[in-house]
Amino acid sequence: MSDHELASTKDTDGFGRMRELLARPIDPSVVAANTRNIAQPEPAHEGTLRSLLIFQLGGERFALEASESHRVVAVTTVRRVPHRTNAVFAGLANVAGELTAVGRLDHALGLAEFQPSGQARFVVIGAAQDRWAIPVDLVEGVLRLGEARFQSPPATVARAADGCAIALVRVDANANASLVALLDTARVCTMLGRSLR
């Protein structure tokens, strides 16, 4: 088979694009961070493990249950909806071929405004009939953490933002590490849905 025939086979068999994706360079800092995460053994005494998707938005760190996060994708163009778009409902975006509502969690929670960057992503949450794409500044990744790292939020945090924060989680083993607010996905979807009324 000639080089020309091989090149056209790559383009038509669908594997050419996949090879390009897999051949792209990976940032050494991402490789180092993932290596550190995998290299750390999880202590057995921390109880049942839960998988959390950790992300940053408006200078704060948040988490969602990984099982309740539909997908994480690159930010795509958001189209405004006439007479419906507002501070929280940004519009609609094509997310993996699905028309998805885009909710501004930064505005809903009163955080610093989201600024698109090369590391920005959509975190897609909610059931098929109530799906939302939330633009976030950075997705840190998925971590498996023991129940011993979870604590009830203080009343001030629990009441803020319609009670979306259901726990504070110590992500690092260090006792003095900063806490990450675990958000309830259903409450976040309900809060974003109110912007459509």
Question: pLDDT tens digit string along 122-176?
Answer: 999 998 888 999 999 999 999 999 888 888 887 766 556 567 889 999 887 665 5
Amino acid at 91: G
Mean pLDDT, rounded, for 4-24? 63
Chain Cα centroid distance, residue 114: 13
Give the end-to-end CA distance of the chain in Å, rounded to a whole number. 61
Mean pLDDT, rounded, for 50-67? 93
Select the more confidently predicted residue: 25 or 43: 25
CB 122 within 8 A of CB 74: yes
Domains within the chain, CATH numbers bracketed: 1-39 (no CATH), 44-196 (2.40.50.180)
So what's the pLDDT on residue 162? Answer: 64
So what's the pLDDT on residue 175? Answer: 59
So what's the pLDDT on residue 134? Answer: 96
Residue 14 CB contacts under 8 Å (≥ 6 apart), including other chains: none
- Statement: residue 15 has pLDDT above 60: yes
**Cβ atoms within 10 A of the Cβ of 35, count?**
10
> Mean of the per-residue pLDDT values for the chain?
83
Which of 83, 120, 125, 119 shows the shortest CA–CA distance to 102?
125
Residue 122 Cα distances to 76, 91, 94, 98, angstroms: 8, 13, 11, 13
Report the predicted TM-score, pTM, of the whole model to 2 decimal places.
Answer: 0.71
Question: pLDDT tens digit string along 82-120?
Answer: 988 899 999 999 998 999 999 999 999 888 888 878 899
